[in-house]
Amino acid sequence: MIRTVGFIGLGNMGAPMASHVVRAGFTTVVADLDPAKVAALVADGAVAAIDTAAAAHDADVVLTSLPGPAQVRAVGEQIVPAMRHGATWIDLSTNDLACAHHLADVAARHGIDLLDAPVTGGIEGARAGTLNVLVGGDVDVHRRCQPVLRAIGDRFDLIGPYGAGYTAKISQVMLCYLNSVCLTEALLLGVKGGVAPDAMLDVIRNSTGRSYVADRYGPEILAGTYDASFDLTLAAKDLRLALELAEDVGATLDFTARVSELYRDAEARFGPMAPHLIAMREIEEANDLVLHEHERTTAYPERPEPQRTEHERMAP
């Protein structure tokens, strides 16, 4: 039976997930580089650890939610030797397969079970506890850890062996960025052809071009806010991981390579902490049209907000 859970990484996604683990009744020991984030979770009922190794020491299950492969590798090499034999490490981060395979070897030497379990559904899903958890690993380990997975998501199916979760996450989040570019180009084409921005987005959201990206990010692009909930550097990292995965498996992703270059250029121009959709400014300025500076509406009435299905709640 799982009684104690370590949770390492209390960022925009990690903090709400850790809160759900606390509320599910597990003794939750938390660690983060930011003491204020640890204090906030302690106020929610968690126990503070002095460092990452301490968070893992007595845990039946350790969850990590970290920015990328470098952090996953560094934290993994700290926590695995500290974990007790037979405990399980579930990594919720977006990671690459080279790091995953290295840490699998480290874990095997210490008798630690592993699940890779990156999540989709965005900050909204993390706060609501409705994430889609993409789990890769052993069937029995997955079954044993379902009470913890259930605390953070409403879908946590095993989709393949260890590493399958990382692969699925990278593949689907890549599509999100590609869709953002396609949405921006469609908006620009319509507006340059004489359609008001709000009207063009309304058409897209009520036609075959409709998508989560159009529903969630279209208004952010038109407002010029570009979605500050997710940093540009993380988006650029995700696209880099997609191209690295493509090289590993022998896939050719020409469009993704071009979009990755767009995001890299935007990061160099606007900085790593800029909102991820600021990359769309590159496309807007190439067309001499910044959408949020254009007259947004016409005299025509807007249609009602489209109703979203369960599957359309999913986000990176």
Beta carbons of 237 and 174 less than 8 angstroms apart = no
Cα–Cα dist 136/221, whole Å: 34
* CA atoms in the 13 A half-sphere facing the CB of 32: 24
Most confidently predicted of 56-65, 290-299, 303-312: 56-65
pTM score > 0.75 for this model?
A: yes
301 compared with 201, residue with greater pLDDT? 201
Contacts (Cβ under 8 Å, ≥6 apart) of 1: 60
The answer to whether the Cα torsion of 242, 248, 253, 257 is positive or negative is positive
Contacts (Cβ under 8 Å, ≥6 apart) of 172: 120, 316
pLDDT at 298: 53
pLDDT at 301: 44
What mean pLDDT value characterizes the chain? 93
The 10s digit of each residue's pLDDT in 207-216 is 999 999 999 9
Give the confidence band of 315 by pLDDT, cuts at 50, 70, 90: low
Give the confidence band of 308 by pLDDT, cuts at 50, 70, 90: low
pLDDT at 210: 95
Both tokens of 279, joined, read 């990359």
Give yes or no for residue 206 having a pLDDT over 90. yes
The end-to-end CA distance of the chain, in Å, is 31
The 10s digit of each residue's pLDDT in 256-277 is 999 999 999 999 999 999 999 9
Q: Which pairing describes strands 47-48 and 119-120: parallel, antiparallel, or unpaired?
A: unpaired
Residue 184 is which amino acid? Answer: T
Asked about 169 being catalytic, the answer comes back as yes
Sort residue 207 into left (φ over 0), alpha (ψ -120 to 50) or beta.
beta
Cα–Cα dist 289/86, whole Å: 58
Percent residues over pLDDT 70 in the chain: 93
Q: What is the DSSP letter of 60?
A: S
Give the confidence band of 294 by pLDDT, cuts at 50, 70, 90: confident
Beta carbons of 278 and 232 less than 8 angstroms apart = yes
Give yes or no for residue 300 having a pLDDT over 50. no
Please report the DSSP string for 165-210 in residue order. Answer: HHHHHHHHHHHHHHHHHHHHHHHHHHHHTT--HHHHHHHHHTSTT-
Instruction: Choose the catalytic residue: 37, 169, 192, 237.
Output: 169
Beta carbons of 245 and 167 less than 8 angstroms apart = yes
pLDDT at 262: 98
CB atoms < 10 A from the CB of 13, how many?
A: 24
Gyration radius of the chain over CA positions: 21
Cα–Cα dist 269/232, whole Å: 11
Q: Which domains does the chain have, with CATH numbers?
A: 4-162 (3.40.50.720), 170-313 (1.10.1040.10)
